[in-house]
């Protein structure tokens, strides 16, 4: 039978708290977000809706994308396309988890940004600005292009 005195129990409790704190620190590491390869398809014809894409890389702690906006449009929504029972469907995402040391790609056929109320005169070759708001990293802006792919 092992007998532990009060000093041993306090030592074990302290060690447990220290290990728990280490685990929390890893989860709470500061996000290190990089945004790249932003682009938006030109709106077809006289329509005022299109889709935009980019890559979000995170070399730090986990974060969550909570909103996106652009001065080119009235509203930008986060969406995902998914195949289910041989039917492609699209749904809005209220937030998107950005994993620690991970990448989230917005690309045709998957996650994308639906851009609504695109202002008159937006055409291929124009500059695209997207402002992304993250729960922990705050607000970040990325520049891109209106066209058929990233510049």
Quick one: 87 and 124 in the same domain? yes
Quick one: 42 and 82 in the same domain? yes
Q: pTM higher than 0.75 for the full model? A: yes
> Tokens 């988890």 identify what position?
97
Quick one: 15 and 42 in the same domain? no
pLDDT tens-place string over residues 104-144? 999 999 999 999 999 999 999 999 999 999 999 999 999 99
Quick one: 52 and 24 in the same domain? no
Quick one: 93 and 58 in the same domain? yes
Please tell me the predicted confidence (pLDDT) of residue 47: 93
Q: Is residue 66 a part of any domain in this protein? A: yes
Please tell me the predicted confidence (pLDDT) of residue 15: 54
Tokens of 11: 């030592």
Average pLDDT, the chain: 88
Q: Phi and psi at residue 16, in whole multiples of 5°? A: -65, -40
Domain span holding position 78:
33-146
DSSP letter for each residue of 31-62: P-EEEEEEEEPPPPTT--EEEEEEEEEESSS-
Q: Is residue 151 a part of any domain in this protein? A: no
Overall number of domains in the chain: 2
Tokens of 22: 């280490």
Q: Is residue 55 a part of any domain in this protein? A: yes
Q: Is residue 8 a part of any domain in this protein? A: yes
CATH number at residue 100: 2.60.40.1890
pLDDT-derived band at 151, boundaries 50, 70, 90: confident
More confident residue, 10 or 67: 67
More confident residue, 22 or 39: 39
User: Hey, which residues does 58 pair with through a beta bridge?
Assistant: 33, 102
Q: Which residues of 88-117 are buried (b: 16+ CB within 10 A; e: fewer)?
A: eeeeeeeebebebeeebebeeeebbbbbee
pLDDT of 21 higher than 60: no
Other Cβ atoms closer than 10 A to 39:
19
């Amino acid at each position: 039978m092992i007998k532990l005195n009060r000093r041993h129990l306090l030592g074990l409790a302290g060690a447990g708290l220290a290990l728990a704190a280490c685990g929390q620190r890893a989860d709470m590491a500061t996000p290190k977000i990089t945004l790249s390869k932003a682009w938006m398809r030109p709106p077809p014809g006289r329509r005022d809706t299109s889709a935009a894409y980019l890559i979000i890389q995170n070399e730090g702690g986990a974060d969550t994308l909570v909103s996106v906006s652009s001065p080119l449009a009235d509203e930008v929504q986060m969406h995902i396309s998914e195949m289910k029972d041989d039917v492609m469907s699209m749904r809005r995402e209220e937030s998107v988890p950005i994993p620690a040391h991970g990448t989230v790609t917005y690309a045709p056929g998957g996650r994308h940004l639906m851009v609504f109320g695109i202002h008159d005169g937006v055409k291929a070759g124009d500059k695209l600005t997207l402002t992304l708001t993250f729960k922990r990293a705050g607000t970040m802006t990325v520049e891109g292009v209106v066209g058929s792919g990233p510049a």
